[in-house]
Structure formats: C-alpha cells, structure tokens
Amino acid sequence: MIQVRETTQLNRNTFVLVCDMFPDDVVTKTIKTNLGTICNFVVETPKECFSVPKTRDVLVYGPECKKITHIEFV
C-alpha cells in the first residue's frame, strides 16, 4: 500500500493525491483504494529540484476522491 499524504481538489471531479514515493514499475491501469477501484487517473513524473523527491502526485478523476488515504496498483 502507498500512503496518501495529502489530497487537493482541483475542480469538481479532479483531485491530486500527494503520495509517498513509488517506482514506475509498480504503476498499472487500475488503482485499488480504501474507497474502491479507480481506472481514470494519471501518474505524474517526480520532479527533482534541490533534493531527491519524497512524494509523487497522482491525478484522479471522479467524485468523492477527497477521502482516499492509501492506494495500491493492481
């Protein structure tokens, strides 16, 4: 399970999940969350600036994604 540290709502049906870091090779087409499964999402590329990134963003599309606390790629 990947911990979701923070959730930000961009608009009515778009949320940014700020997650603990995870590698590209675990990403699949489906996410299992504490609220159910999600297939409509985009995984952002981590951005390095002055240090190694500790979080990675996942954009999720759908209602009621604000209460997601963890994700798992299945």
pLDDT digits (tens, 9 = 90+) for 3-14: 999 999 999 889
Q: Side-chain half-sphere of 40: how many Cα atoms within 13 Å? A: 7
* pLDDT averaged over every residue in the chain: 93
pLDDT-based confidence at residue 47 (cuts at 50, 70, 90): confident
Distance CA 61, CA 22 (A): 20
